[in-house]
Amino acid sequence: MTFGQLEKEREYSTWAKGMKTALSSDQCKYWRARYLLPRQSRLHGLFQRTKDQQSKGAVSGASRILKKAQSILSEGVLDDLDGLWPTVDSKTSTAVDESRRTTEDSGIEPAAEVGVGTPVSQIIRNREDDNAEDLETEINADNHTHLFYEVFQALYDIAHNRKYVLPTGRRMQSKLQERLFNYTVEQLPVFKEISKTRQKDVYVAASSIAHLHMEDAVIAIGEDLEHLIEKTRNLKLAEPPSYLIDTLRLFKEDSYDENGEINIPRMTLLVNKEIGNIASNELDGNRTDTNSQIILDILRIVLPLCKEDAVPRPNDTEQKCQSVWQRILEILFADTRISVVIGETGLASTKTERAENEAAHSGTSTNKPVMPRKVDCKLVASVVKAKKWEFKPISNFEFKSMQASSQQVEIQARKNMRLNHSISKNIPSKEQLFLNIHGYSAQLYRLWEYESVHVCGRVFDEELVIPTCEPELEWFLDGKCLATLLSLRTHFLRVAQEVQRDHARPIKTDVATQVQFRQAEASPARQQQSTQETNNLPAESNVPLALCQLTNNTFYTPKRPRANSATVIDLNKKLKEWP
C-alpha cells in the first residue's frame, strides 16, 4: 500500500502523514542529497555498464546490487535518522500483518520484518542478505571520494540549475587546503552573480590549486601568499649566459645606423651571413654549439616581423601568431624526443577525468560520449618500451589572439592551469612550466606541489615578448627572452628524459614492492620533502595517508544538456521503485 492509500484509512492516516512529513523534512533532504543520490548515481552507472555487456551473470549481479542498495547506502547516517521517523502504532500493525500474510501467500519474500514501535531506520539496519558483506565491501571500496567531492557536486548542481547542498567542513591535510575549501564554499551562494574570472577561480581552487594571482588571493591563501609568490619565482631562468650576451652585442653594434637606430635589414644580412659561416664550418667537420644555432634561427624568424611596412595591414590573427610561436618552439626542440603539436587537438588525460566527473555528479544521461578538452599547443615526449612507441604530453600552452580582452586572457590562464594540473599527474616531474600566450607575448607560469595542494603563479613579473617593431627589438636583444626560451628547452628535455625512464621501468606485480622500489629510486631531496609534508599533517587528521593522492582531482566545466540529450533521470521515481 502507498502512503496515499494509507492516508485515506482512518486507522493509520496519522502515521502515514507523519511519514510524509518526515520524508519532506530538511534533514531527510540533506541526507538524500549528500549520501544517497551520489551513491545511487554510481550504482546506476554500474548497472548500465553491465547491461551493455550483454552478460546475463553481470546483469543479474548488478540488479542484485541495486535491489539491496537501500540497506547499504543508508550506512553511516542511520543514527542521524533515528527519532525522525514516526513509529508504527498498534492500529497500523494490523495492516502490516495483513500485508505480510498476503505477501507470504503469494510466494514473494518479504522485504523486511516490521515490529511495533520500531523506527524505520532500525528496520533498515536489521535487514540481512547472504551477499550483504561482499556487496558492502564493494560499495565502500568505490566510495573513497576525494576531499572536494561535495564541492564538485554543488558546482554541478549549480550548473544544471538544481538545488545544491552547501558542503560542510572536513578534516583537510593542510591549512592551505582548508583555506581553499572554505573559499570555494563561501563562493557557492553567490556563484552566478560573480564575474566569469572569479567563477574560474572557484574551479581552480576546487581542483586544489592555489592560484597566487587570483582576484581573492589574500582571502583564499592568507598569510602564506607573499612567501609562496617568492618561492614560485625563478629569475635565474631569464639570466642570459655570457655567450648569448656576446653574440647579441656584436649584432647590435654592427647594425646601428647614423641615427643610432637599429637597421633591421642590415641585421638580417648579418644573421644570414653568420648562419652561412656555421654551415661552412659544419662542412669542414667543425661542430657548432647547439644553443648558438638556435639563437640565430630564432633571430631569422623574428627580424622580418620588425620591418616597417608603409602599407597599413590588418592585425595578425591568432593563426598567424600561432605559426610564429610554432616555428620558434620547433627550433627549440629540433632533433629531440619532444614534438610540438599545434591545433585543436584533445588532451587524452582530461577525457577520463571529465567522464568520471560527469558520472559522479551530473545525474544526467546524454547520447554523446564525453570528449577530451581541446588544447591549442601541447609538448609531447616520444617514449619507447619493448619496441613500442607512445606519446606522453608533458606541458600545454594556450593561445589567444592579439584582439582578445584581458578578461579572456585571464580566463584562458585558469583553463591552462587545470589542463597542466591534469598533465602533472601522469609525469614524474614535481613542477610544471607552461606558457599562457596572448598574441606575440606570453606569461610563464609554474605549477608545483606544496602541502598536499598545487601552487601556481607567474615566474616573472614581465612578459616574454616576440618583437614586432624596432623598439621591442631593442628589449628583445637584451637576451632575457632568449635566455628564458633556452631555459625552457633545458627543463623540458630533462622532463622528457624522466618520463622515458619512468615509462621503461620494469613492472612490479607486488604493489608494496613497487612502492618501495619507487621510494628507493627517488632523490634524497624528494624523500626529505615527502617526510616534511607528512610531518606537517595535523595530529588529529583522520585522512589516511594512502588516500592523499585522491585529493588530486581536477574540476572541469560541466557539460550542458543539449536538446538531443536523453531525459534527465528522475531520482525520486527511482527511489520509489526500489523495494
Q: What is the mean pLDDT of residues 384-391?
A: 92
Q: Residue 211 pairs with which residues in a beta bridge?
A: 456
Mean pLDDT of 330-334: 96
Do residues 318 and 401 lie in contact, with contact meaning Cβ atoms separated by under 8 Å?
yes
Q: Determine, yes or no, domain membership for 185.
A: no
**pLDDT, position 53:** 46
The whole model's pTM is what? 0.67
Are 24 and 57 within 8 A, CB to CB?
A: no
Mean pLDDT computed over every residue of the chain: 75
Average pLDDT over residues 228-249: 92
pLDDT at 549 over 60: no
pLDDT tens digits for range 21-58? 777 776 666 666 555 655 555 555 555 555 554 444 44
Q: Are 98 and 18 in contact (CB under 8 A)?
A: no
Q: Which residue has the higher pLDDT, 220 or 123?
A: 220
Rounded-to-5 percentages of helix, strand, coil across the chain: 55, 10, 35
In this prediction, residue 270 carries a pLDDT of 93
**Contact at 8 Å (CB) between 217 and 201?**
no
Q: Is residue 513 part of a domain?
A: no
Model pLDDT, residue 358 = 85
203-212, 243-252, 304-313, range with the lowest pLDDT: 304-313
> Which residue, among 231, 235, 238, has the nearest Cα to 449 in the 3D structure?
231
| Contact call for residues 420 and 531 (beta carbons, < 8 A) | no
Which whole number is the average pLDDT over 172-179?
89
Cell numbers standing for residue 443? 606569461
528 inside domain: no
How far apart are the two ends of the chain, measured CA to CA in Å?
12
The answer to whether residue 69 sits within a structural domain is yes
pLDDT tens, 291-324?
889 999 999 999 999 988 778 778 888 889 999 9
Which has more pLDDT, 42 or 452? 452
- Please report which confidence band the pLDDT of residue 60 belongs to, taking 50, 70 and 90 as the band edges: low
Q: Where is pLDDT greater, at 367 or 568?
A: 367
Task: Report pLDDT for 416.
Answer: 95
**How many domains does the chain contain in total?**
1
- The whole-angstrom separation of Cα 571 and Cα 73 is 14
Percent of the chain with pLDDT over 70: 65
Q: Which residue carries 644555432 as its cell? A: 293
Mean local confidence (pLDDT), 570-575: 48
Rounded average pLDDT over 104-120? 40
Indicate whether 41 belongs to any domain: yes
Q: Is the CB of residue 321 less than 8 Å from the CB of residue 399?
A: yes
pLDDT value, residue 66:
54
Residue 37 lies in a domain: yes
- Say whether pLDDT at 387 is over 70: yes
Q: How confident is the model at residue 526 (pLDDT cuts 50, 70, 90)?
A: very low
Question: Can you say how many angstroms the Cα of residue 232 is from the centroid of all Cα atoms in its chain?
Answer: 20
Q: Return d(Cα 453, Cα 207) in angstroms, integer.
A: 9
DSSP string, 61-93: HHHHHHHHHHHHHTTTTHHHHTTTSPPP-HHHH
Between 9 and 30, whose confidence is greater?
9
Q: pLDDT value at position 555?
A: 80
At residue 417, the pLDDT reads: 95
User: CA 16 → CA 20, 86, 125, 334, 579, distances in Å?
Assistant: 6, 9, 21, 76, 18
406-424 and 196-206 helices, crossing angle to 10°: 10
Helix (H) or strand (E) holding 346: strand 338-346
Taking the C-alpha atoms of residue 474 and residue 252, their distance in angstroms, rounded to an integer, is: 9
Residue 576 has pLDDT above 90, yes or no: no
At 83 the pLDDT is 47
Dmax of the chain from CA atoms?
111
| Residue 61 within a domain | yes
Closest CA to 554 of 453, 365, 450, 419: 419
Model confidence band, residue 460 (pLDDT cutoffs 50, 70, 90): very high
Domain that residue 101 falls in: 3-143
**Predicted pLDDT of residue 18:** 73
Mean pLDDT confidence for 185-212: 94
What pLDDT is recorded for position 359? 84
